[in-house]
Amino acid sequence: MLAALAAFSIWGLSPLYFRAVGSIPPFEIVAHRILWSLAFLAGLLAFLPFTGGFARVREVCRQPRLLGLLALTALLTGSNWLVFIWSIDAGRLLEATLGYFINPLVSIALGAAILGERLRPLQRVAVAIAIAGVAWRVWQLGSLPWISLYLAGTFGLYGLLRKRAPIEAVSGLFIETLLVAPLALAGLAWMHAGGTLGFGSGAAADWLLPLSGIITALPLMLFTAGARRLPLATIGFMQYLAPSLGFIIAIRIFREPFDAGQLIGFLLIWIALAVYSVDMVRAARRPR
């Protein structure tokens, strides 16, 4: 329980970290996040026995199809990170938290559309209410809430694809970061050549950026430890802690505007999540 709570708390409080390094462009932050995560995960694989070490990594490297799948998931997470960090820099964290609120419902819809999973009646109701919430935001804004939909869609697709990848969390994340590390290095080299590289300027971000590797990998490890020992229904409830913390940070600390129209959209999503949670608890209690 403590491990899972710590994981969701780190994810929920991460906007404070990304705002602290806001002097660095979002793409550069993502590049650093990839490279420092790679170094941190390499250390874990080298020194922690329960990770399986590099033997599993070498085994995966001999499977082209699995490598291709992990390359795709790496691009999904990288673009997800980029949009999330950009949303904080642009003062649109509320839209990002909305995306993570609707993510479980997007996962349900993807399971039904791609895997052919049958939706239970309450799940259908939850998805319908969530669609109503998104439709309200579309009507209110006059355009699609693309940040919310992109974050929920990419994270939902990531979960769907990783479900089909037979590899544990630490090794899988290491290979994903390894595959996109050349892109991160090339981007940093290009920014350095153009004189736009923020790292090394002597600002506070110089010593904050290396922490991005820990902020990326540590909550994933804690989440894995908690998920293996807790019921799915418990994890399902706890996952709302992260966007809830982000929601509070956006309103109380970042002082983003929040009007009645936005409140209605969030209320519809929260009602959908309540219906989804009730269904999840009922399914967990149902005898096998």
**247-276: pLDDT as tens digits:** 999 999 999 988 888 899 889 989 988 888
**Beta-carbon-side half-sphere exposure of residue 167 (alpha carbons within 13 Å):** 27
What radius of gyration do the chain's Cα atoms show? 19
Beta strands in the chain (DSSP E): none
DSSP 118: P
Longest dimension (CA), the chain: 63
pLDDT for position 202: 66
Instruction: Please give the mean pLDDT across all residues of the chain.
Output: 85
For residue 158 the two structure tokens come to 């990531």
pLDDT for position 247: 93
Q: What is the pLDDT of residues 9-62, one digit of tens each?
A: 999 999 999 998 888 889 999 999 999 999 998 988 888 766 677 888 888 888
Q: Which residue has the tokens 């980029």?
A: 82
pLDDT for position 253: 94
Q: Which residue has the tokens 């989804």?
A: 276
Which amino acid would we find at residue 149?
A: L
pLDDT for position 201: 67
* Per-residue pLDDT at 288 exceeds 60: no
Locate all alpha helices (DSSP H) within 115-145, ordered by sequence. Answer: 121-141
Task: Tell me how far apart the alpha carbons of residues 74 and 210 are, in angstroms, rounded to a whole number.
Answer: 20
Q: Which helix H or strand E contains 164, and what residues bound it?
A: none
Task: Tell me how far apart the alpha carbons of residues 223 and 213 are, in angstroms, rounded to a whole number.
Answer: 16
pLDDT for position 44: 85
pLDDT mean over 213-225:
82
